[in-house]
Amino acid sequence: MLIEQSAYTNRWRRVSPSAKGVTSLCGMLAAYAAATPVAACGVAAILCVVTVLGAGIPLERYLRVAAPACLFLTFSALSLAVSLNVGNSFGDFVLLPVHSELQKVAQVCGRSLGGLAALLFLALTTPLIDIIALLRRLGAPEVLLDIMILCYRTLFVFSEAVRETVTAQSARLGYTTIRLSMRSLGGLVANIAVQVWQRSQALHLAAMARNNDGPLRFLEQTYPHSTRDICVAVSGGVALIVLTLMIP
């Protein structure tokens, strides 16, 4: 939900999605082209600054959205940088740092951070509906886009269902003790599982009723300054790639 709030309330909401897609693509290319971890981290820092200061995304919200991916990247880096040596006897094992691989691990982490910053720039500044419309213009499979639309809609439906269920359980003091909390959590999971099944059946019947005739369509927003936005995005993206290649 934080991503959607940012996508609809940022300063660049009226900027063409094509321009933001070009910027994100150039950011990923720059991160991949970075020859050193410093250059890759520089790309990530530039994209982060552009997202926070340019689009007006609050820094706290940006960090909250990026935290799960950064945590996953941290554990992945540790698994690459540490080697497990197992002995002959039970319990005889030791963790040793792999010094020869530290440079490669740093390079992978730097590029991953750059790619993450590029994707966050697109996700936090562009609503998913606009991204889907952009993918449709680029020729993405309609089946994939339909699945994205259904998942997008279902996400909000079940989020509201979870909120209402938790509110009802809290009103009945369902979270006052650990035992009651575990019981309420089990009831919440069971209730949501039933709703998932029922709503999936309803979606299937609705698709069968319309003979699944064509893709799901919706009104697309117009952007009067699309050409200008794309030119600015291409210029900035190319400058970022060139700057990355110049950093030793």
Domain that holds residue 104: 2-85+95-126+222-246
Quick: pLDDT tens for 185-210.
888 888 888 877 787 777 777 777 76
| Nearest alpha carbon to residue 112 among 80, 140, 151 | 80
Confidence of residue 30 (pLDDT cuts 50, 70, 90): very high
Pair of tokens at residue 194: 């039933």
Q: Is pLDDT of 9 > 60? A: yes
- Does any domain span residue 215? no
Do 56 and 165 fall within a single domain? no
Do 77 and 147 fall within a single domain? no
- Does any domain span residue 135? no
Quick: pLDDT tens for 40-97.
899 999 999 999 998 889 899 999 999 999 999 888 888 777 766 655 555 555 555 6
Provide, rounded to the nearest whole percent, the portion of the chain with pLDDT above 70.
Answer: 89
Do 153 and 199 fall within a single domain? yes
Angle (CA) 54-60-62 rounded to 5° is 55
Do 24 and 103 fall within a single domain? yes
Instruction: Please enumerate in sequence order all residues whose Cβ is within 8 A of that of 162, keeping only pairs 6 or more positions apart, or say none.
Output: 188, 192
Q: What is the pLDDT of residue 136?
A: 86
> What average pLDDT does range 99-120 have in this prediction?
85
Do 241 and 158 fall within a single domain? no
Do 71 and 179 fall within a single domain? no
DSSP letters spanning 215-243: ----PPPP-TTHHHHHHHHHHHHHHHHHH
Do 46 and 13 fall within a single domain? yes
Do 26 and 117 fall within a single domain? yes
- Does any domain span residue 68? yes
Number of domains comprising the chain: 2
Do 14 and 119 fall within a single domain? yes
pLDDT higher at 113 or 143: 113
- Does any domain span residue 134? no
Do 192 and 171 fall within a single domain? yes
How many angstroms separate the most distant Cα atoms in the chain?
71
Q: What is the pLDDT of residue 104?
A: 82
- Does any domain span residue 132? no
Do 183 and 240 fall within a single domain? no
Do 9 and 57 fall within a single domain? yes
- Does any domain span residue 58? yes
Rounded distance between C-alpha atoms, residue 13 and residue 124, angstroms: 10
Q: What is the pLDDT of residue 120?
A: 92
